Amino acid sequence: SKISVVRCFYFRGGAELLFDGVKKHQVTLPCQPEPWDIRNLLKWIKQNLLKERPELFMQGESVRPGILVLINDADWELMGELDYKLQDQDNVLFISTLHGG
């Protein structure tokens, strides 16, 4: 079976406040038969990393509008969004563009 891979996820622009203020998370994703895609990753993040107010990070099965997702510094819209299959060494960055007044 495949070895689970340690991955880094970054939260910026206020998104880190939903994750105990931690901006960089190194996580080991569990092994699964299929490659991890962003859709499954978001579910996992919601269950395992998100500490409060999930509605500020997630909407349905995706991130809510106003959260930019960058995969290796490229906009995830160019990569297939939820269907993008994570590769080894991918960096995933979540940036909140929502700033409360």
pLDDT digits (tens, 9 = 90+) for 51-98: 888 999 999 999 999 999 999 999 999 999 999 999 878 899 999 987
Contact 16, 22 (CB under 8 A): yes
Give the Cα separation of 84 and 29 in Å (integer). Answer: 16
What CATH architecture applies to the domain 5-96? Roll (3.10)
Question: Is the pLDDT score of 101 beyond 90?
Answer: no
Domain ranges of the chain: 5-96
Question: Is the pLDDT score of 1 beyond 60?
Answer: no
pTM, rounded to two decimals: 0.87
Mean pLDDT across the chain, nearest whole number?
89
Burial state string for 75-97 with b = 16 or more CB within 10 A and e = fewer than 16:
ebeebebeebebeeebebbbbbe
